[in-house]
Amino acid sequence: MDFGYSMESHTRGVTAEDHHDAYREFFKQVQICEDGGMDYLWVSEHHFNGARSFGSASMVVSGAIAARTERIKIGSAVIVVPCHDPLHVAEEVSNMDHLSNGRFELGIGRSGGVSHYQGFNLDYAESQPRFAECLEILKLSLSQERFSYKGDYYEYNDVPMVPRPLTIPYPKMRWAVNSSATFEMAGTLGMPIFCGVLQLGISELSDLLASYDEAKAKAGFNEPRDAALRIPIYVSDTMDDALTAPMEGFSRRYSSASEILQRMVASGRANYIGEREQRIDSLGNLDWEAIHTSEKAIVGTPDVVIDKIKEIGDALQLTGMVLEFNAGERLPEDKLNRSLELFCEKVAPAFS
């Protein structure tokens, strides 16, 4: 199983000085992961929320990571492609493929953040058809020397892809899926996926992954399941600290998820309203006890964490985990860095 740090580009304040210091902290964690043997750094994309994240230019930051590292793989988790010109994204991906010497993996999605679309003056109701066109454009443009396309939202006429990707036909693409429909869509396309415990339990995920496998098989894709699970994690030297230090942040992560879903439903522009309303109810009933004793988070000393990763990995037959070491953005820097170090030194080797 591969392990990666979900780097949310979190910040501890809203000023330019706060964000500048957040970059320092961010690259300290990059070095811990590079030196400690972490498999991936997954770089997030967030817009218009300076109190949470400075990560509005994830590809720029990924390029800086590539320049400062030699071993670790770099991924986007995720680029919200309907908020970008997809051909420009393809150019950036191809450049990142070269800058990283083939270490880049393209994670894409359409996000549940309605505010992303509002800020860019886009209609969230168009996010799904726009995403479908963006995905087709990315695949076609990256795999061809010259490219033309005409859809409902995008049109390109005989433009060259410069530079051509180093990886043939292009770097791996991984789709962040959440609804029952998108699990099946990704399977039909034979795409690797991200999934998560934020809105779904293990039993629900198991059923959805089975539907993904079935859709893949029907479409003629016979490769083994390639699914990475996103999940909050905290590793500590003591159980007392493990059960107290992440409480505020991890609880906040789930309450924020509920608020995002409520805004999506209230907007009237979201897909799969029924599924989302059910998830609002389940998230509203979560407290810290329910979070840390369930599959909603992995917290504990290294031995406890190893056992829980094995339990979840075996249940879902995962190829990787995308680990939120600072879910909810409330851990102090020293505790966050210690959690990373303990994971690299004592947890990851159990799976090598």
For the domain that residue 44 is a member of, what is the CATH number? Answer: 3.20.20.30
Query: Residue 271: what pLDDT?
Result: 65
Strands 104-109 and 146-150: unpaired
Please answer whether residues 171 and 177 qualify as being in contact, where contact means their C-beta atoms are separated by less than 8 angstroms: no
pLDDT at 267 over 80: no
Query: Residue 261: what pLDDT?
Result: 75
Rounded to an integer, the average pLDDT of 278-303 is 88
Query: Residue 160: what pLDDT?
Result: 97
- State pTM to two decimals: 0.94
Query: Residue 273: what pLDDT?
Result: 61
User: Helices H, strands E: what count in the chain?
Assistant: 13, 12
Query: Residue 274: what pLDDT?
Result: 65
pLDDT in tens, 38-47: 999 999 999 9
Please answer whether residues 146 and 294 qualify as being in contact, where contact means their C-beta atoms are separated by less than 8 angstroms: no
pLDDT in tens, 191-220: 999 999 998 999 999 999 999 999 999 999
pLDDT in tens, 135-156: 999 999 999 999 999 999 999 9
Q: Which residues on adjacent β-strands are paired with residue 323?
A: 5, 231
pLDDT at 323 over 80: yes
pLDDT at 260 over 80: no
pLDDT category, 266, cuts 50, 70, 90? confident
Q: How far apart are CA 150 and CA 147, in angstroms?
A: 11
pLDDT category, 270, cuts 50, 70, 90? low
Mean pLDDT, the chain, integer: 94
Strands 73-76 and 227-235: unpaired
pLDDT at 53 over 80: yes
Peptide bond into 78 cis (omega under 30): yes
User: For residue 16, what are the contacts with CB-CB under 8 A and spacing of at least 6?
Assistant: none
pLDDT at 280 over 90: no
Q: How far apart are CA 151 and CA 172, in angstroms?
A: 24
pLDDT at 262 over 90: no
pLDDT at 37 over 90: yes
Report the percentage of the chain scoring pLDDT > 70.
Answer: 95
Mark 316-349 as b/e (b = at least 16 C-beta within 10 Å): bebbbbbbbbbbbbbbeeebbbbbbebbbebbbe
Domains in the chain: how many in total? 1
Query: Residue 72: what pLDDT?
Result: 98
Query: Residue 283: what pLDDT?
Result: 78
Q: What kind and span of H or E run contains 80?
A: strand 79-80
Rounded to an integer, the average pLDDT of 33-55 is 96
* Domain membership of residue 345 as a residue range: 2-351
